[in-house]
A and B are shown apart, each in its own frame.
Chain A
Amino acid sequence: MSVVSTPLKGERELVREAECVPSYTVFGLNLQSSIPIRHLRPAENDRVDVRVLSESLELPEKNSGNWYFPGGEGLYVHVPGVALFHILADRITVDHFTETTESVELYLTGSVFGALLYLRGFIPLHGCAVKTSDGVATFMGESGVGKSTLAAAFYQSGYQLFADDVTAVKLQDGRFEVWPSPHRLRLLPETLEWLGIQISGEPEVLSGKFVLDGRRNFSQTAAKLTGLNFLQRGSRSVRRLKSTEPMLELMNNLYRPEFVEALGLQEKLFTNLAHLARMPSFHYQVPRFSCPYELLNTFVGDEAKS
């Protein structure tokens, strides 16, 4: 005698739905998304931390008029002509106004992931992160200082990357860990040329940057953060930061710092930053038009010395 178990109709539908919806892993979180997202690894288990749903949203009547505003224990991000996003710690709702998936994905994996990181207790730093012999080092600095170029130089030289633009840091069991960001490098045509990287396809319409799939050399797991490096234009020099300097630099190099107040997370972030600011921190002044590989050697040279 055989027993055939037939799921109820609702259950069957749920199974089918789960099968159709791709699951990804990013920042150590499993995302089940009804929207395809490039440059994320497939999830390795069934756990779902965050659901990404494509649904219509009402723009709340009471809003600041800004492109972002708080709502329902989370944040709304409104990009006219592209999408309205609502971000909660376990759910991202996307109401897109365009069929151009590229621009929706650009904001989803940028600002929206930034808000998600704050909501999940991460510190999102605006900079790249690379594995060195004693842990992960992050490189931050103002726009145009060469963070992505440096990330690409590390990548091309066989170093393992954790992030090219936004580094996800989290305090866990008394230590700061870096979790892998989407495995991509977004680079301007001149940077690609400078680094000798050939790439086919078209650049992003909004940024003019080419997107390089970095899966080959991106970390799949978290690793301990061991150094904070702040890049600045200037004549070549290195200085270790002291007292409150790392704290101030960290505040200046947060990704989307404007979200912190909107989410009411200033006090929690203060405690985290005050802890993170105890980590060895350095100011690197780098001349304009430094060769990226030469720049990389500056850090590798330091690493060999330590």
Chain B
Amino acid sequence: MIQDGDMLSRPSRLPTAQFGDEEVFFHKASGEYVFLDPVAARIWQFLKTEKSLAQLLSALQSEFEVDLETCRADVIEFLEILAAKNLLKIQANVST
């Protein structure tokens, strides 16, 4: 389970195309074209630079009208999909 203090980032240099507020990228390892809706695309953009889960949730809450618990549940669900595809680097916070 991803914790608030865990540092998260995504792989760089993936062939990506942006269409308005949506994105598509090519995931070489699986040979898949991955489509991201506006919220997923925003998370994906935030993860370009390393962030803690808490920082990510706070950034999203400033842009989307959503309560913290719903935001956390949806984001973690998405992050776990990314992690399963080897598309998320998770650095556990050793201090917690």
Bound: A247/B28 CA distance, A: 18
Cβ-neighbour of B15 out of A243, A251, A271 (below 8 A): A271
Q: Verify A277–B19 contact, CB threshold 8 A.
A: yes
Interface pairs A-B: 8 shortest CB-CB: A274-B17, A270-B26, A243-B22, A244-B22, A243-B19, A243-B20, A244-B19, A266-B31
Q: In residues 95-126 of chain A, which contact B (Cβ within 8 Å)?
A: none
- Distance of A266 Cα from B26 Cα, bound (Å): 8
CB distance from A41 to the nearest CB of B (A): 36
Which residues of B lie under 8 Å from residue A55 when comparing CB positions?
A: none
Q: Does A261 contact B (CB under 8 A)?
A: yes
Interface size class of B (residues with CB under 8 A): 10 to 19
A-B CB contact pairs (8 Å), 24 listed = A242-B19, A242-B20, A243-B19, A243-B20, A243-B21, A244-B19, A244-B23, A244-B24, A244-B35, A247-B19, A247-B33, A248-B35, A251-B33, A266-B26, A266-B28, A267-B15, A267-B26, A267-B28, A270-B15, A270-B33, A274-B17, A274-B24, A277-B17, A277-B19
Residue among B22, B31, B35 making CB contact with A261, cutoff 8 Å: B31
Q: Provide the bound-state CA to CA distance between A140 and B84, in Å.
A: 35
What 0/1 pattern do residues 21 to 51 of B give for CB contact below 8 A with A?
1111010100101010000000000000000
* Given pairs A244-B22, A267-B15, 16 additional interface contacts (CB within 8 A): A243-B20, A244-B19, A244-B35, A247-B19, A247-B33, A247-B35, A251-B33, A266-B31, A266-B33, A267-B26, A270-B26, A270-B33, A271-B15, A274-B15, A274-B24, A277-B19
Proximity bits, A236-260, B CB within 8 Å = 1, else 0: 0000001110011001000000000
For B23, give the chain A residue with the smallest CB separation. A244
- A residues less than 8 Å from B21 (CB atoms): 243
Residue of A nearest to B25 (CB): A270
Q: How many residues of A contact B (CB 8 A)?
A: 13
The binding surface of chain B is classed by DSSP as strand
Residues of A within 8 A of B (CB): 242-244, 247-248, 251, 261, 266-267, 270-271, 274, 277
Complex interface: chain B residues within 8 A of A266 (CB): 26, 28, 31, 33
**Which chain A positions have C-beta within 8 A of B35?**
244, 247-248
CA–CA, A248 to B89, complex, Å?
Answer: 28
Q: How far is the CA of A56 from the CA of B28 in the complex (A)?
A: 36
Cβ-closest chain A residue relative to B32: A266
Bound together, the chains give a CA A261 to CA B28 distance in angstroms of: 11
A265 to B17, CA, bound (A): 17
A274 and B26 alpha carbons, distance in the complex (Å): 10
B17 contacts across to A, CB distance below 8 A: 247, 270, 274, 277
**CA separation between A182 and B23, bound complex, in Å?**
36
**Among the interface residues A242, A244, A251, A274, which one has the most CB atoms of the partner chain B within 10 A?**
A244
Residues of B within 8 A of A271 (CB): 15
Q: Provide the bound-state CA to CA distance between A277 and B23, in Å.
A: 12
Smallest CB–CB gap between A72 and chain B, Å? 21
Q: Bound complex: CA of A261 vs CA of B32, how far in Å?
A: 10
Q: Are B26 and A247 in contact (CB under 8 A)?
A: no
Looking across the interface, which residue of chain A has its beta carbon closest to that of B38?
A: A243
Chain B residues 1 to 15 lying within 8 A of chain A, measured CB to CB, are: 15
* Closest chain B CB from A43 CB (angstroms): 37
Q: In the complex, which residue of chain B has the Cβ closest to the Cβ of A246?
A: B19
Distance in angstroms from A14 CB to nearest chain B CB is 43
Complex Cα spacing A259 to B15, Å: 20
On chain A, the residues within 8 Å of B31 by CB distance are 261, 266
Residue of B19, B23, B31 contacting most chain A CB atoms (<10 Å): B19
